């Protein structure tokens, strides 16, 4: 399917706190049943985990080809969000990007190639960092992850692509563990992931709070300044009156002797 055909999609946030696709602009080639999409925070975490795999054979181009990128367009009713396609790749845009795996060919497509490549790179890295009695194989990794996915299916849970990818990128065979330093080398510390930007629902206005009453605050300040000015003027008038009274007293004292004559 030509990638340009997919222009937009509508998604919702599930109870599992993952985003799931409700509809797309290309209903012919896309089945939205249990179709998950990776949100910006999840994508940032995935890209951090992918970085150390470069020296073990992972090529960033595989991730670029494996995903359709989207940006937030607007919020819809029913806690849904409309996303629109981005022409930029994962590594070219500065926007908060949603990433939809290219699932048009689940067995031989770009997303399947991406999973295969990161599985091989993860196995190479684990064999390099851990002293196994026998080298770990890709088949062993895939079998372990398949068992986890089957357990989710039996419990009625769909496997979200973020879970599918991180299951590979964070996989360590049972009975083994990576040292803290090795964990950092294998993925880095999980720094504060950027929040999804706020977006406003159609026809909805921002609710006012106490931080939004700028005009009222300015009016109060003007009134206070005017009040202070009036008080100062009043004080000046009182001082003038006092001075006039003192001058009047002096005149009275000067005139009194003359009247006595």
pLDDT at residue 156, rounded to an integer: 77
Of residues 50, 2, 55, the one with CA closest to residue 25: 2
pLDDT at residue 4, rounded to an integer: 47
pLDDT at residue 153, rounded to an integer: 82
Residue 202 lies in a domain: no
- Containing structural domain, residue 248: 213-260
- On whether both 161 and 249 belong to a single domain, the answer is no
- On whether both 177 and 229 belong to a single domain, the answer is no
Residue 82 Cα distances to 33, 140, 224, 230, angstroms: 17, 40, 49, 58
- On whether both 75 and 157 belong to a single domain, the answer is yes
CA distance 70 to 25: 13
User: Nearest 5°: CA angle at 206, between 203 and 211?
Assistant: 170
- On whether both 220 and 170 belong to a single domain, the answer is no
Residue 208 lies in a domain: no
Domain count across the chain = 2
Q: In what order do the strands lie in the sheet with 67-76?
A: 36-37, 19-24, 8-13, 80-85, 67-76, 98-101
- On whether both 152 and 227 belong to a single domain, the answer is no
Residue 114 lies in a domain: yes
Residue 197 lies in a domain: no
Residue 193 lies in a domain: no
Per-residue pLDDT of the chain (261 residues; tens, 9 = 90+): 444 478 999 999 999 999 999 999 988 888 888 899 999 999 999 999 999 999 999 999 999 999 999 999 999 998 899 999 998 878 877 788 999 999 887 778 899 999 999 999 999 999 999 999 999 999 999 999 999 888 888 887 889 999 999 999 999 998 888 765 555 555 444 443 344 555 444 444 334 444 334 344 455 555 555 554 555 555 555 555 555 554 445 444 444 333 333
- On whether both 167 and 52 belong to a single domain, the answer is yes
**DSSP-derived 3-state class of residue 226:** helix
- On whether both 243 and 127 belong to a single domain, the answer is no
Residue 194 lies in a domain: no
- On whether both 98 and 179 belong to a single domain, the answer is yes
Q: Find out whether 83 and 9 touch, Cβ atoms under 8 Å.
A: yes
- On whether both 140 and 48 belong to a single domain, the answer is yes
Residue 195 lies in a domain: no
């Amino acid at each position: 399917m030509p990638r340009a055909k997919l222009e937009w999609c509508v998604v919702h946030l599930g109870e599992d706190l993952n985003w799931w696709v409700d509809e797309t602009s290309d209903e012919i080639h896309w089945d939205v049943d249990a179709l998950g999409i990776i949100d910006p925070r999840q994508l940032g975490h995935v890209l951090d985990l992918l970085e150390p795999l470069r020296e073990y054979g992972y090529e960033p181009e595989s991730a670029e080809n494996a995903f359709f990128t989207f940006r937030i367009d607007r919020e819809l009713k029913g806690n849904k969000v409309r996303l629109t396609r981005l022409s930029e790749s994962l590594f070219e845009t500065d926007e908060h990007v949603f990433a939809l795996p290219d699932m048009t060919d689940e067995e031989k497509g770009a997303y399947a190639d991406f999973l295969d490549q990161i599985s091989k790179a993860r196995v190479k890295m684990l064999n390099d960092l851990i002293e196994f009695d026998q080298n770990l194989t890709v088949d062993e990794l895939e079998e372990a992850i398949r068992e986890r996915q089957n357990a989710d299916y039996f419990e009625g849970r769909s496997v979200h692509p973020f879970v599918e990818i991180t299951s590979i990128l964070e996989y360590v065979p049972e009975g083994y563990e990576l040292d803290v330093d090795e964990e950092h080398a294998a993925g880095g510390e999980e720094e504060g992931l950027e929040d999804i930007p706020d977006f406003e629902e159609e026809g909805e206005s921002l609710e006012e709070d106490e931080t939004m009453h700028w005009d009222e605050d300015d009016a109060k300040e003007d009134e206070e300044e005017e009040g202070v000015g009036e008080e100062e003027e009043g004080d000046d008038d009182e001082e003038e009156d006092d001075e006039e009274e003192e001058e009047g007293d002096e005149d009275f004292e000067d005139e009194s002797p003359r009247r006595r004559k």
